[in-house]
Each structure stands twice: as structure tokens, then as C-alpha cells.
Amino acid sequence: MTVSEDKFTRQTLLEVHSLTPSLFTLRTTRDAGFRFRAGQFVRLGVEKADGSVVWRAYSLVSAPHDEFLEFFSIVVPGGEFTSELSRLRVGDSLLVEKMATGFLTLDRFVDGRDLWLLGSGTGIAPFLSILQDFEVWQRFERIVLVYSARSFAELAYQPLIRSFAELEHLAEFAHKLTYLPVVTREQAPGCLNARITELLDKGELECAAGLELTPEYSRVMICGNPQMIDDIRQRLKVRGLNLSLTRRPGQVAVENYW
């Protein structure tokens, strides 16, 4: 796929870090003119040997105020983009589209007291950006971060999540956050052990958070694979929590760019 050169900038790969054989993070330089809202995504491009460019959308892990851009990726076996990306080394170029987009942003909600962030796999990425931004801590009284992975080793960014309480500009708000790690394929200390949908059905998620999901107070963001998003949305809809649209404000926002 070709994209006009006035639509992207060429950035330098600063860091590539493998978390597991199938998960890695990457960090690039940031163009001085690039702007985004916490929770948005941007398309990255990798140039192939034949000169063509492969593009894929990635949520930004980094905060809007960071001087770098960070992304969280899964390795897709035989995948065109990640196979090309795996060849890159620190110092190589990565193309970044100038315009970030996406609707998993706080302006999807006009009100609300409690914010639930439900993420699976690399779907945790936009929530990390949101939690590094000041707005969410000012706006909501309680924030529940639910992060589901198959194994304990696949729970990424644990030091960052634990550090929210220690960041100087967030210290006074740290008590608002409840973090619920979920591991589905093994027992792990301190983690819930079931799919998010099952935890919702049994009431275990609300019990662990010490907080009820209600249309009046709860606002919910969901990011992960499409089936997971659909399954959770259906359960929330039954309970009166509906997708927030421009023409009809609601209680649920989702991101699905698979």
C-alpha cells in the first residue's frame, strides 16, 4: 500500500525490547509536530526490500507529553508487517503517519464517576497512555484497570503500572486506581484466573474491584480482539450500558482496528 509522502514522517527506531517470543515493544523518535490524544492509534509503515511499504495501525503506549513514541506489538507468524519489522534494528527508519486517530478517548463520555479499562493482550496499550495523562485522574473518582493475558509472562508493563502511584504529578490521585491482572491459561499469584466475560458473568470482577458496574456511574473502555470486545459489549448492553455515539452519548467505548 502506498501513502503520499506528505502524510507521514520518517522516524528513527530507538529501542526494541522482546518480552516473550511473541510480544515486543518498540520506541521511536517523535516528530515535533506530531499530536495525539491519549488512547488514539497511528499507522506505522515498514519499507520492504522492493521499495513497497507495509502499514499497520498501533495504539500509542506513550503519553501525549512524551518526547518519544512507544508501541506494543504481537508477533504474527508469517505476518507481513511483523516479519518486516523484526528485521529492523536500533537506528533504522520507521514511517509514522502524521495523523493519529481513534475513538478510545475520554471525550467519548460526557459524564461518569467510575472508569473501567478492560484490555486483553496488546489491547492494554491505549490504557497505558490514558493513565499517564493527567486528565483521567482529575475526572474520575475510581479507575479500574483490568488487564488479561494468557500467561503471567505476557503481562507487560508491570513496572509502569506499579509506578503510577509513585509519579510525582499523580501521587495524590494514586488511591483512585484498582489494578486487576487476569491470567487465563495458568494460575498466577495475585491474578484472577478466568476470561473477563466469565468474571463478569459470575460477578467476580466487580467483587474484586469492590465496585458495581452501573449505567449511572460506570464508563467502560474495551480494547482487545474483536470477539472479546463483542462478548463484553453484549453483556454490558444487557445491564443497560450502551455504546457511546456522537449522536447518542453512552457508557461504553471500544477500539477495534484488527
Query: What CATH number did the domain enclosing 111 receive?
Result: 3.40.50.80
- pLDDT at residue 231 in the model: 97
The percent of residues above 90 in pLDDT, for the chain, comes to: 81
Please give the average per-residue pLDDT across 17-38, as a whole number: 95
- pLDDT at residue 186 in the model: 96
Cα 218 from Cα 206, distance rounded (Å): 11
- pLDDT at residue 257 in the model: 57
Q: Look at 50-54, 55-59, 104-108 and tell me which has the smallest mean pLDDT.
A: 50-54
What CATH number is given to the structural domain containing 70? 2.40.30.10
- pLDDT at residue 51 in the model: 87
Amino acid identity at 91 = G
Cα 236 from Cα 231, distance rounded (Å): 9
Domain count for the chain: 2
Please give the average per-residue pLDDT across 7-20, as a whole number: 95
- Is residue 42 pLDDT above 80, yes or no? yes
Please give the average per-residue pLDDT across 146-155, as a whole number: 97
Considering 97, 114, 135, which residue would you say is the last residue of a domain? 97
Would you tell me how many other CB atoms lie within 10 Å of the CB of residue 241? 22
Q: Are residues 216 and 140 in the same domain?
A: yes
Q: Are residues 192 and 131 in the same domain?
A: yes
3 — pLDDT class (breaks 50, 70, 90):
low
Q: Are residues 174 and 211 in the same domain?
A: yes
Q: Are residues 93 and 111 in the same domain?
A: no
Q: Are residues 42 and 143 in the same domain?
A: no
Cα 59 from Cα 123, distance rounded (Å): 8
- pLDDT at residue 39 in the model: 98
Considering 39, 63, 97, which residue would you say is the last residue of a domain? 97
Q: Are residues 118 and 242 in the same domain?
A: yes
Amino acid identity at 165 = A
Cα 16 from Cα 90, distance rounded (Å): 7
- pLDDT at residue 2 in the model: 55
**Higher pLDDT residue, 77 or 149?**
149
- Is residue 40 pLDDT above 90, yes or no? yes
Closest-CA residue to 68 (of 25, 124, 110, 22): 25
Q: Are residues 55 and 110 in the same domain?
A: no
Work out the angle at residue 162's Cα, subtended by the Cα atoms of residues 168 and 63, and round it to the nearest 5 degrees: 60
Instruction: State how far the alpha carbon of 9 is from the alpha carbons of 2, 34, 47, 222, in Å.
Output: 14, 9, 13, 30
Work out the angle at residue 71's Cα, subtended by the Cα atoms of residues 188 and 255, and round it to the nearest 5 degrees: 80
Amino acid identity at 32 = A
Q: Are residues 122 and 67 in the same domain?
A: no
Q: Are residues 143 and 221 in the same domain?
A: yes
**Higher pLDDT residue, 88 or 32?**
32
**Bridge partners for 218 per DSSP:** 114
Q: Are residues 83 and 201 in the same domain?
A: no
Q: DSSP label at 243?
A: B
- pLDDT at residue 179 in the model: 97
pLDDT one-digit tens code per residue, 67-96: 999 999 998 888 888 888 878 899 999 999
The helix/strand/coil state of 211 is coil
Cα 115 from Cα 202, distance rounded (Å): 20
Give me the chain's average pLDDT, please: 93
Closest-CA residue to 240 (of 223, 216, 222, 221): 216
> In terms of residue numbers, what domain contains 65?
5-97
Considering 75, 97, 119, which residue would you say is the last residue of a domain? 97
Q: Name the grid cell of 243.
A: 455504546
pLDDT one-digit tens code per residue, 166-224: 777 777 888 899 999 999 999 999 999 999 999 999 999 999 999 999 999 999 999 99
